[in-house]
Amino acid sequence: MNTQHQTPENTAPAATAVARRKQAGSATPSDLIRYALDNNVEIDKLQELYALQQRWEADQAKREFVMAMAEAKADAPEIIKEKLVEFKTTRYFHATIGNVVTTIVPWLAKHGFSHRWSTRQENGLVYVTCVLTHERGHSETCELFAAPDESGGKNLIQALVSTKTYLERHTLLAATGLATSDEDDDGRAGGSGIDLEEAAVRNQWRAHLEKIDDIATLRLAKADMIDAYKGESNVPEELLGLYLKRGKAINAASGGSSANE
């Protein structure tokens, strides 16, 4: 009887191959690519593995983006509405773009994020896109658009810059899921009284809504109202009614989409 005995030299490659196959269930695409290179796999199979590797890396980057953002939200910064706007009977606070950026950027960097904006003009509207990117490569975007802000006698350049700045502030806040807060409540608790202060704020919003003549800007104004009043349920009914009224008027004049959509 002629029995062939396997030596350690000719059993090693087979054992290694078996071990690799057993590990393949938990292997990454990079592991599979290395295995394919070691075993002279055909080029088209390698290309498929490289494509798989890219999809796997993209999925991992997205997962890490989500986890990093969740961790970042645990110590989210407070963004104060530090800028006082006051004219005639109108008096309110808002957060400037400088304050928003200087508050958010260090917080983002601490958790491996960066941001940038891209801007374009199309059909008379200003579009601003905020791109939020994690250090592992995954990015998410938020885009808003509005007509140039021609209020207050601004020239064309000033109107464009005003809208651009406004949209930059709101896209960055939206992309990060942050909101602004009031600097303090001294104005409401102080000498002018709650009723007078509220009346002034309502007058300002009323005047602002009545000047808007496009649906996109009107929707942004509603979002600002909700933010200022800390929830839609707190917005005075008369302002919500005026919002709907303006939406219907704009829609009737342009034949466009409703403000409610």
User: What residue segments make up the domains of the chain, in order of their start?
Assistant: 8-73, 79-254
Report the percentage of the chain scoring pLDDT > 90.
Answer: 28
| pLDDT the model gives residue 154 | 81
**Does 142 have pLDDT greater than 50?**
yes
**Does 185 have pLDDT greater than 90?**
no
Average pLDDT of span 105-119 = 96
| pLDDT the model gives residue 135 | 95
| pLDDT the model gives residue 15 | 42
Residue 251, token pair as written in the block: 């829609």
| Separation of alpha carbons 230 and 252, rounded Å | 31
- 180-182 vs 79-81, strand pairing mode: parallel
Strand partners, 144: 128
Question: 82 or 178, which is more confident?
Answer: 178
Poorest-confidence range of 116-130, 133-147, 148-162, 193-207? 193-207
Q: Answer for the pair 213, 250: CB distance below 8 angstroms, yes or no.
A: yes
Poorest-confidence range of 147-151, 191-195, 229-233? 191-195
Question: 41 or 140, which is more confident?
Answer: 140
Model pLDDT for residues 75-84, shown as the tens digit of each residue: 899 887 767 6
Kindly report the CA angle at 83 between 191 and 105, in degrees rounded to 5?
140
pTM given for the model: 0.53
| pLDDT the model gives residue 109 | 96
Average pLDDT of span 115-125 = 94
Q: Answer for the pair 162, 154: CB distance below 8 angstroms, yes or no.
A: yes
Q: Answer for the pair 181, 68: CB distance below 8 angstroms, yes or no.
A: no
